[in-house]
Amino acid sequence: MIGIDKIGFATPKYKLDLTDLALARQTDPEKYHSGLLLDEISIAPISEDIVTLAASSAKDILTKDDRESIDMVIVATETGIDQSKAAAVYVHHLLDIQPFARSFEVKEACYSATAALHYAKLHIEKSPESKVLVIASDIAKYGIASAGEPTQGAGSVAMLITSHPRILAFNDDNVAQTRDIMDFWRPNYSDVPMVDGLYSTKQYLDSLKTTWKEYQKRTGLTLEDFAAFCFHIPFPKLALKGLNKIMDRSLTPEKKEALSLAFDDSIRYSKQVGNIYTGSLYLSFLSLLETSSTLKAGDRIGFFSYGSGAVCEIFSGQLVDGYKDMLLANRQENLDKRTALSVEEYETLFYEKPQFDDKGDAAFSSYDKNAFYLSGMTNHQRQYKNTEEDA
């Protein structure tokens, strides 16, 4: 049995209320609240990047024994901070993981964490004593007043993969699909993505429909076999359309009702955080685990991963006995503690960039911090700090 033993999450300490954003953009707030099913989005200041989010999401779930047993750190991201050095190398250092480990970064839009999980599983099949840390960390920025602006977000989900998982055991049923399309992409010279919005939503739904059909053909399973289905969530309304697409007429009304209720639980955190790209599917899983009152050990959970470009995958796992003991009770409290920004303050944070002197040094303003933060740059090298060591 191989699967998710622990799961952690971090998001920036700032948020933007989408009613405020809608009013500033002369838009009916209902378009965001019921049209996209979004209420708030997390906003990252300059002192937060994918490394600080990644390390902060993993810090509290790792014990000394984990740090000594992890022999692979994979950071999945599409908002990398360097064309050469992997974010995973910084994260390995910040988390004080034993030195004889592989650390690297993977990319394929919002899909890559799913590929990382599969690689972790293959590695542990060969080395059952190993533990692999898979972290999905991203900052989604679409641009001021763009159609995608209300669907921005930022956050990281860390998962510890082991051969004695206490949350979810993976099944051997993965079905992936690749199609070379231009629905969403970000060339190296652009800070924000280029998006064919409507086309991207059609591709998401068609990738789901065709992969689900192939998955059913290969496994013989139907939705009746699932207690819940988690989706990649660029914005919750699209995931809801996804659920409706795969709920066919043969389902009993009771099953439809149960899947819909589980879906509502799975979008609770995303509604307040926004799109966190490759971590988004796993934030949906975390939300389901921590807010559902009906799930139980043995339940089969389905996962639909989608990354623009595009690669998608459907797979499933079984909840492990005692999984509730591995969760956090105060997640909502932490989300509520984020500082609300005015639209003006959000726009200032959006455009803030390092102001380098001629030595390549830059000092950053001080912002509310997670466990790790970026204090500035020295000779073009990122300076990461541990908040506890400052205290």
CA 177 to chain centre: 20
d(CA 54, CA 384) in angstroms, rounded, equals 12
Positive or negative, the CA dihedral 89, 93, 95, 101 is positive
- The residue (of 73 and 310) whose beta carbon lies closer to ligand HMG is 310
Tell me: does residue 194 bind ligand HMG (CB under 6 A).
no
CB of 273 or CB of 295, closer to ligand HMG: 273
How many Å apart are CA 294 and CA 255, to the nearest integer? 13
What would the x/- binding string for ligand HMG be over residues 23 to 62, using CB under 6 A?
A: -----x-xx--xxx--------------------------
Q: How far is the CB of 235 from ligand HMG (least distance, A)?
A: 6
Cβ atoms 107, 77 nearer than 8 A: yes
Structure tokens at 344: 């003006």
**Residues of span 115-144 touching ligand HMG by CB under 6 A:** none
Closer to ligand HMG by CB, 178 or 387: give it: 178
Is residue 69 within 8 A of residue 95, CB to CB? The reply is: no
The one among 171, 178, 201, 375 contacting ligand HMG by CB under 6 A = 201
- 40, 78, 108, 290: the catalytic one is 78
Nearest-5° Cα angle at 365, 156 to 91: 30
Query: Quick one: 184 or 226, whose CB is closer to ligand HMG?
Result: 184
Site of tokens 């910040």:
94
Residue 42 or residue 130: which is nearer to ligand HMG going by CB? 42
Q: Does 198 bind ligand HMG (CB under 6 A)?
A: yes
Catalytic residue among 92, 105, 108, 110: 110
Our answer to whether residue 224 is catalytic in this structure is no
Residues 6 or more apart whose CB falls under 8 angstroms from that of 254 comprise none
Give yes or no for residue 238 binding ligand HMG (CB under 6 A). Answer: yes
234 sits near ligand HMG (criterion: CB under 6 A)? yes
Residues 210, 172: contact at Cβ < 8 Å?
A: no
Calpha distance 273→285 (Å, rounded)? 14
Active site residue 105: no
Tell me how far, at minimum, the Cβ of 21 lies from ligand HMG, in Å. Answer: 12
Vertex 58 angle, CA 295 and 341, to 5°? 90
80 near ligand HMG, judged by CB under 6 A: no
Distance from CA of residue 383 to its chain's centroid? 24
The residue (of 37 and 362) whose beta carbon lies closer to ligand HMG is 37
Contact mark string toward ligand HMG, 87..116, x via CB under 6 A: ----------------------xx------
Amino acid at 353: K
Stretch that binds ligand HMG, among 160-168, 194-202, 290-298, 323-331 (CB under 6 A): 194-202
DSSP 281-328: HHHHHHHHHHH-SS--TT-EEEEEEEETTTEEEEEEEEEPTTGGGGS-
Q: Residue 13 corresponds to which tokens in the numbers above?
A: 């300490």
Q: Are 269 and 328 in contact (CB under 8 A)?
A: no
Residue 174 engages ligand HMG in binding (rule: CB under 6 A): no
Q: Is 204 in the site for ligand HMG (CB under 6 A)?
A: yes
Interacting residues with ligand HMG between 271 and 330 (CB under 6 A): 275, 277, 306-308
Is the omega angle on the peptide bond into residue 310 within 30 degrees of 0, that is, cis?
Answer: yes
SS3 102: strand
Is 164 one of the catalytic residues? no
Catalytic member of 40, 92, 232, 313: 232
Residue with the closest Cβ to ligand HMG? 35
CB 310 within 8 A of CB 109: yes
Site size with ligand HMG, rule: CB under 6 A: 30
CB of 241 to ligand HMG, least distance (A): 7
Sheet-wide strand order for 362-363: 362-363, 372-378, 381-386
* Closest approach of ligand HMG to the CB of residue 90, in Å: 22
**Residues identified as active-site:** 78, 110, 232
Query: Interface with ligand HMG by CB under 6 A: which residues?
Result: 28, 30-31, 34-36, 78, 109-110, 147-148, 151, 183-184, 195, 197-198, 200-201, 204, 232, 234-235, 237-238, 275, 277, 306-308
